[in-house]
């Protein structure tokens, strides 16, 4: 009997998911697997929206952002009877293993699924938040950073033209990686992230000193997790005395054609996922740490908290004081 696995994307979309789907399907086929694609994430498992992979489905998707398999938020998956329905769908099709491309919530769901029914899975980290413990990188981060960098560079043109301050709020949930990296890469004067203490009094004194010495505009980058976008904008107006505007970049950060880095990372993660399943791993997440690829048990990922690189925090420290 031929080996069989299915591939799905789950949770928030990110550039790099499509290259990962394509590579996982092609590499698994080379390893002797019959592959299937699951549309609409976990909801697709429940609704039996599962089809055998064809060449037409995975051709021409490498350069596309988002996920051609689509995604969904599926809290109903945590109901046992619903998971049983998903299991019956897989069993009927002879699917023995899963590759899930998504975030820690998706991995937790598949780990519960494995505990219930013994369906092994390999997780590929994909979230622009870059907040999955155990890995230095998640698919979509580089593309998102380049989208943000282009937006901030454009905002700088208006800021300098009108001698204004601009507060740019970026995504990341409770993780400040995008904001921190953007602030450093774009030369922002202020950066606020959840992981770093800040002092508005010292920031204000520093900015006023800079203005007295010729500074004509200010860029501030804030992580959405701080919930400081509106407040900081008003504070710059009132305390600094510089006209300020808030720009919330929003979901534009998730889109765009995957960067070269994300495409290559997708290939390497996908190969690692198939190899992990071949080696008998049952519930592992692919990781990239200190320049090396590997995998970790799901528990060590979901039971740990992602920590920002201390070196980045040190570099950005002056922007919060």
Q: Residue range 123-138: average pLDDT?
A: 96
The yes-or-no verdict on residue 1 having pLDDT over 70 is: no
Indicate if 93 and 34 belong to the same structural domain: yes
Show Cβ contacts of residue 241 under 8 Å, excluding neighbours closer than 6 positions.
none
pTM: 0.95
Share the mean pLDDT of the chain: 96
Low-confidence winner among 144-148, 243-247, 300-304 (lowest mean pLDDT): 300-304
The yes-or-no verdict on residue 48 having pLDDT over 60 is: yes
Has residue 213 been placed in a domain?
Answer: yes
Has residue 307 been placed in a domain?
Answer: no
Indicate if 8 and 134 belong to the same structural domain: yes
Which of the residues are catalytic? 129
Q: What angle do CA 14, 15, 16 make, to 5 degrees?
A: 110
Its domain, for residue 91, covers 3-140+258-302
pLDDT at position 22: 98
Q: What angle do CA 84, 89, 82 make, to 5 degrees?
A: 30
The yes-or-no verdict on residue 20 having pLDDT over 80 is: yes
Per-residue pLDDT of 160-193, as tens digits, reads 999 999 999 999 989 999 999 999 999 999 999 9
Has residue 185 been placed in a domain?
Answer: yes
Indicate if 136 and 263 belong to the same structural domain: yes
Indicate if 11 and 128 belong to the same structural domain: yes
Indicate if 107 and 193 belong to the same structural domain: no
Q: What is the CATH number of the domain that holds 22?
A: 3.40.50.450
298, 135 contact by CB (below 8 A): no
Q: Residue 43: which pLDDT band, with cuts at 50, 70 and 90?
A: very high
């Amino acid at each position: 009997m031929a080996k069989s696995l299915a591939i799905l994307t789950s949770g928030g979309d990110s550039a790099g998911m499509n290259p990962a789907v394509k590579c996982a399907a092609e590499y698994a086929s080379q390893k002797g697997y019959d592959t299937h694609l699951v549309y609409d994430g976990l909801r697709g498992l429940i609704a039996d929206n599962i089809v055998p992979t064809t060449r037409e489905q995975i051709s021409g998707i490498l350069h596309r952002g988002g996920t051609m398999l689509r995604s969904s938020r599926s809290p109903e998956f945590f109901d046992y009877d619903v998971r049983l329905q998903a299991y019956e769908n897989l069993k009927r099709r002879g699917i023995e293993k899963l590759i899930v491309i998504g975030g820690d919530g998706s991995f937790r769901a598949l780990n519960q699924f494995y505990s219930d029914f013994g369906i092994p899975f390999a997780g590929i980290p994909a979230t622009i938040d870059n907040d999955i413990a155990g890995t230095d990188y998640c698919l979509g981060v580089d593309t998102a950073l380049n989208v943000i960098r282009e937006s901030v560079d454009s905002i700088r043109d208006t800021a300098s033209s009108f001698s204004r301050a601009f507060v740019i709020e970026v995504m990341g949930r409770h993780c400040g990686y995008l904001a921190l990296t953007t602030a450093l890469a774009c030369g922002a004067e202020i950066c606020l992230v959840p992981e770093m203490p800040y002092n508005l009094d010292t920031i204000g004194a520093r900015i006023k000193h800079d203005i007295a010495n010729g500074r004509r505009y200010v860029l501030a980058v804030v992580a959405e997790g701080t919930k400081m976008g509106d407040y900081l904008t008003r504070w710059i107006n009132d305390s600094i005395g510089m006209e300020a505007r808030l720009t919330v970049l929003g979901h534009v950060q998730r889109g765009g054609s995957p960067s070269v880095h994300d495409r290559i990372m997708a290939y390497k993660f996908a190969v690692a996922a198939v190899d992990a399943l071949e080696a008998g791993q049952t519930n592992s997440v692919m990781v990239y740490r200190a320049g090396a690829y590997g995998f970790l048990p799901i528990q060590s990922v979901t039971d740990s908290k992602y920590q920002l690189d201390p070196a980045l925090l040190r570099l950005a420290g002056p922007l919060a004081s």
